C-alpha cells in the first residue's frame, strides 16, 4: 500500500482510494491494537 501511494502521480487521491478498502482498515486496526497495547 505504501509503495502504491509513494509511486502514484497523485498520492493524495491514491491514499483516499486505499483508505476505502478493507486491507487499509485491517492495517490501521493492527497499528491501533499495537499502540493501545503499549499504553
Integer-rounded Cα Rg, in Å, for the chain is 12
Tell me the pLDDT band of 8, cut-offs 50, 70 and 90: very high
**Which sequence spans correspond to the domains of the chain?**
2-38
Q: What digits encode the pLDDT tens for the residues 21-37?
A: 999 999 999 999 999 99
CA separation for the pair 17, 15 (Å, rounded): 5
Q: To the nearest whole percent, how much of the chain has pLDDT over 70?
A: 100
The predicted structure's pLDDT at residue 21: 93
Q: For residue 24, what are the contacts with CB-CB under 8 A and spacing of at least 6?
A: 1, 18
Amino acid at each position: 500500500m505504501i509503495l502504491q501511494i509513494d509511486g502514484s502521480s497523485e498520492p493524495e487521491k491514491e491514499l483516499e482510494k486505499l483508505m476505502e478498502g478493507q486491507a487499509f482498515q485491517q492495517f490501521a486496526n493492527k497499528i491501533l491494537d499495537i499502540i493501545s497495547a503499549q499504553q
